[in-house]
Amino acid sequence: MEFLPTLQSGVDDLKPSLFELLSEQQLSALLPPSLRYLLAVATPRYPRYLLPVLNSFDEVYALVMLLVERHFLRTYGGSFTENFYSLKRARVLRVKGGEIPRAQMGASESVREAVKLSSGDVWKNLAVLVGLPWLKRKLDESYDIHAAHSNLLGPAYNRDRDRPQSGASVKQRLMFGYKWFLRNIYPSVNAAYYFSLLVFNMAYLFDSTKYHSPFLWMIGTRIRRLGGADHAAIEALSQPRKTGPARPGEGGSLFSPRNLARSVQPRLLSSLKILLPTSIFALKFLEWWHASDFARQLSRKSAENVELPPPILPSLPPAAKEQSSKYTSTTDHRSKPRPIDPPIAASTLLPILTVPLPADSTLCPICSTPVTNPTASPTGFVYCYTCIHRWVQGVHDRQVAFMEGAAGFAREDGAGEVEVEEWSKEEGSREGRWESGQGRDAVTGRKVLGGTEGLRRVVV
């Protein structure tokens, strides 16, 4: 496809093809999920240190990439992944057409210095390289949390649920405006974002513009291939620099601030060029290893040599056996069952509101009506989608009524007897004495990881 621009405006050896740029963008987009996956695998081993990093992965990744990209932009003239493809970023000169082909051929070093990124250009490119992707990820995540379910429940449900009450704080009003923006404006903004990228890519493919992205057009920067002068400059930078004698009060240690800033830090950041292809090779090798039959056969053979002992069945102590046999032989009637105590939260040590299982499995445990739009929680129980969704959010009518002092849920045993528990009586407000079950399963009281995102629709 590169013959199209060539036929129109001649050969430009330093202009990268669109497919080089798309490959670089795909490699850059693969870094965050790969690092997040590796961090998620390593977190169970060291949760004390890695769990805070995993919870704030987007912010930590943006901060690290800010340092890495700044070093590569100042040293090599391109981003971390662009340098891997021998690309750089150059300013567009304020001349007619933005090109000086004769000077490029005769004085390439002077042209390189003329199009080199200044300090202000570096920060503009950092905003496009780091700030814009971070903002896009946060908006997409917020949209999935606050606005994606509006297609299922309808706009009226969201409007009534999130409408700020009278006397709401400024934070609540701002949150309401943010959710309104995500549901009504952000889809159009997101569509315009991808459409503008498509338009610039097509224009770049047919040599109608020098920019393959609208954001590079806004900051006046374009992508170029590394030329001979660029490789010579990079080679000169890789040579060890001569440092003068240590200042008074500074030792010649490797860990002194002077040596760290001049020698260790640049070499550490530049070593990422070797780490990137090595990590790609390692990930591809692991992917091939886990997908190959050889790995399965090896794991199967290693498991064949493991002899598992038979399970040991627990048995009742002799006293308990005698008591149970005496009870079954002398009594025929069934005594009143012991009331079922509600589960206790491990963090607050407060009882948790739960619902009993209905006798018919086709009924929803929360509303006791036939299940509509069945949805399963991670514990395996099936509810109506609206019931369990509102229950996990803590806004179900039965939760609100119970926390305000209404009676709890009556439970039935196998013989149909209703158990009257102390907590099932009407009393005052239970705030601070009970947990409403928010974020938990309605039957077991266990936490639902991910909140409403942990619910799964059941296809019947």
Q: How far apart are CA 352 and CA 391, in angstroms?
A: 13
Q: How far apart are CA 341 and CA 130, in angstroms?
A: 52
Across the chain, mean pLDDT equals 76
422 Cα distance to chain centroid: 44
Residue that wins the pLDDT comparison between 453 and 420: 453
Q: Is 283 helix (H, G, I), strand (E, B) or coil?
A: helix
DSSP string, 320-338: HHHHHHHHHHH--SPPPPP
Q: How far apart are CA 246 and CA 443, in angstroms?
A: 70
Say whether pLDDT at 300 is over 80.
no
Mean pLDDT of 209-226: 90
Mean pLDDT of 324-334: 46
Q: At what angle do helices 47-55 and 57-75 cross, to 10 degrees?
A: 80
Q: Is 125 exposed, middle or buried (0-12, 13-18, 19+ CB in 10 A)?
A: buried
Model's pTM, two decimal places? Answer: 0.56
By the 8 A CB rule, do 388 and 402 touch?
Answer: no
Query: Closest Cα partner for 373 from 385, 364, 387?
Result: 385
Q: How far apart are CA 14 and CA 372, in angstroms?
A: 62
Mean pLDDT of 412-418: 46
Greatest mean pLDDT among 101-105, 179-183, 238-242, 423-427 lies in 179-183
Say whether pLDDT at 260 is over 80.
no
- Quickly state the pLDDT bin for 252 (edges 50, 70, 90): low
By the 8 A CB rule, do 273 and 75 touch?
Answer: no
By the 8 A CB rule, do 212 and 201 touch?
Answer: yes
Instruction: Supply the pLDDT for residue 216.
Output: 92
Mean pLDDT of 29-50: 85
Cα distance from N-terminal residue to C-terminal residue, the chain: 48
Mean pLDDT of 186-208: 93
Mean pLDDT of 13-24: 88
Could you give the percent of the chain with pLDDT greater than 70?
A: 65
Instruction: Give the contacts of 366 (CB within 8 A, at least 6 positions apart).
Output: 355, 383, 384, 387, 388, 391, 396, 398, 442
Parallel, antiparallel or unpaired: strands 374-376 and 382-384: antiparallel
Say whether pLDDT at 115 is over 60.
yes
Instruction: Supply the pLDDT for residue 215.
Output: 94
Weakest mean pLDDT among 66-70, 97-101, 184-188, 206-210:
97-101
Say whether pLDDT at 331 is over 50.
no
Q: How far apart are CA 59 and CA 41, in angstroms?
A: 19
Q: How far apart are CA 378 and CA 392, in angstroms?
A: 12
Q: How far apart are CA 15 and CA 92, in angstroms?
A: 13
Query: Closest Cα partner for 161 from 187, 369, 171, 172?
Result: 172
Instruction: Supply the pLDDT for residue 97.
Output: 56
Instruction: Supply the pLDDT for residue 213.
Output: 92
Q: Is 121 helix (H, G, I), strand (E, B) or coil?
A: helix
Say whether pLDDT at 330 is over 60.
no
Which contiguous run of DSSP H or E holds residue 309?
none
- Condensed to tens digits (0 to 9), the pLDDT of residues 142-168 reads 888 887 766 565 555 555 556 777 777
Instruction: Supply the pLDDT for residue 362.
Output: 86
By the 8 A CB rule, do 277 and 81 touch?
Answer: no
Residue that wins the pLDDT comparison between 414 and 448: 448
Mean pLDDT of 438-444: 89
Mean pLDDT of 206-211: 88
Q: How far apart are CA 138 and CA 140, in angstroms?
A: 5
Q: How far apart are CA 146 and CA 309, in angstroms?
A: 50
Mean pLDDT of 351-371: 87
